[in-house]
Amino acid sequence: MALLKAWPKSSLNLLVFAVMLSGAPGITWIEPLDPVITPGGNLSVNCSTDCDQPQFIGLETQLVKTQVDNGTRWKVFLLRNITQDSLLYCFANCFENTQMTHSTTVTVIREYFESPEPVNLEPLPRWILMGQNFSLRCQVWGGKPRQNLTMALFRGPQELSRQAVSEQGPGKAAEVTFTATASREDHGVNFSCRAELDLRARGLGLYQKSSAPMELHTFALGTPRLIVPKHLEVGKKETVSCEIDKLFPVENAQIHLSLGGRSLSPTVVRGQDMLRATAIVIIAEGEKEGQRELTCNVTLADHDREVQENLTVYKSRRDPVPIVMGVLLALGLAAMAGAIATLCLWQNLRKGSYQPQTLPLQDRTPMETPETGPKGPSPVASA
């Protein structure tokens, strides 16, 4: 017998419906419909018709078959050692060589799925900014029949979403997607997906397989702030610092300070969601005056934030006029002090050399009253 052509199920159903409306016999069907078995299993297939006197009832298949039972309008065939998906055709030749067929497919499930890695969660970004949306995309190969296949996405043990994939053909990967928002609590949490093939209604079991877990890393990164003087005097030490908050996780962050392209060696302090770097800078003698750019760079999760500020380097210039006036004032004070010292010394000398003497009364000679008229020289008292 030539191989019968497979009819699409939709066309077959329309044909059966047309035959029923016409009242003519010749409906053929097959049981079980869409059977599922494990590799190497056996299957009993019943081909039947509503013809009163069918000329022949048969089963067309490439599998090894054995007729094990029959009746006027039906036959039962045993298919052995089924290792691959196969198409089955039941047919019945009714009056005037009219032939009616019905087809179905035997689905063989492997070790759940054919692919060595049948369930795959698409790799997540290395780091995800807190508050940013991200997609969990899971694929699965195999998993037939698809109408019995569902996929679930998990955050740790928590189920986030469960979706059916029956609308996707078995010849390509089934895919489901779930969109989530990254949070602080997601940092370091494993995400995974699980495919479930539920064949319990078909006399088999519930088959499950999960993807490898993917660890998620979330982060928050604010804007750093510089705390610096506006001017730097040559030869004078100054303190500069940079700090950043709204930072998570702090232990993974790095901070760098540089002045004029030269790296500084700051002291770094880590707090809760905060990072601070402090450094002592000194502009050596002989360096040029002018602008220097102070840069603070914070790196976290393959991202960085950077701020700069210009500082003015200058040398201290002393005014010569105040210096001269200071010298003159010092000299004047010194001269004044010398003059005062000389005067005091002279006065002391005078007081020490002049000592008035008092004559005795008997040595005193009364002064004579001059006489009127010429006289000779007055006698001089002898000493």
Give the tokens for residue 349.
């000398």
How far is Cα 289 from Cα 295, in angstroms, rounded to an integer?
A: 18
pTM: 0.62
- Amino acid sitting at position 360: P
Number of domains in the chain: 3
* Amino acid identity at 219: F
Asked if residue 207 and residue 293 are part of one domain, the reply reads: no
Tokens of 246: 């709204």
- Backbone dihedral angles phi then psi of residue 173, each to the nearest 5 degrees: -70, 135
pLDDT digits (tens, 9 = 90+) for 366-376: 555 444 444 44
Measured CA to CA, the distance from residue 166 to residue 176 in angstroms comes to 11
- pLDDT at 326 (0 to 100): 63
Domain boundary among 74, 108, 142: 108
Q: Are residues 141 and 179 in the same domain?
A: yes
% pLDDT > 70, the chain: 76
* 25 shares a domain with 77: yes
Which domain, by its residues, includes 157? 119-219
For the residues 255-261, what does the mean pLDDT come to? 94
CA-CA-CA-CA torsion sign (248, 250, 252, 257): positive
pLDDT, tens digit (0-9, with 9 covering 90-100), for 195-217? 998 888 888 888 888 999 999 99
Buried-exposed string 78-109: b where 16+ CB fall within 10 A, e elsewhere? ebeebeeebebbbbbbbeeeeebbbbbebbbb
324 found inside a domain: no
Q: What is the per-residue DSSP string for 185-236?
A: GGTT-EEEEEEEEE-GGGTS-EEEEEPPPEE--EEB----EEE--SEEEBT-
With beta carbons less than 8 A apart as the criterion, state whether 213 and 192 touch.
Answer: yes
Chain segment 49-74, per-residue pLDDT in tens? 988 788 889 999 999 999 999 988 99
Dihedral of alpha carbons 57, 61, 63, 64, sign: positive
Reported in sequence order, the residue ranges of 61-98 that DSSP labels E, i.e. its strands, are: 65-70, 74-82, 86-93
Q: Who has greater pLDDT, 52 or 328?
A: 52
In three-state secondary structure terms, 268 is: strand
Q: Within a domain: residue 280?
A: yes
Q: Residue 329 falls within a domain, yes or no?
A: no
| DSSP type of residue 184 | G
**Which residue, 108, 130, 161, sits at the end of a domain?**
108
Query: Token digits for 5?
Result: 């052509």
pLDDT of res. 37:
87
Looking at the domain assignment, is residue 322 inside a domain? no
Mean pLDDT of all residues in 235-260? 94
Question: What pLDDT band is residue 28 in, cutting at 50, 70 and 90?
Answer: confident
The residue written with tokens 């010749």 in the block is 26
**pLDDT at position 81 over 70:** yes
Q: Is 321 helix (H, G, I), strand (E, B) or coil?
A: helix
221 neighbors 131 (Cβ within 8 angstroms): no
d(CA 272, CA 246): 9
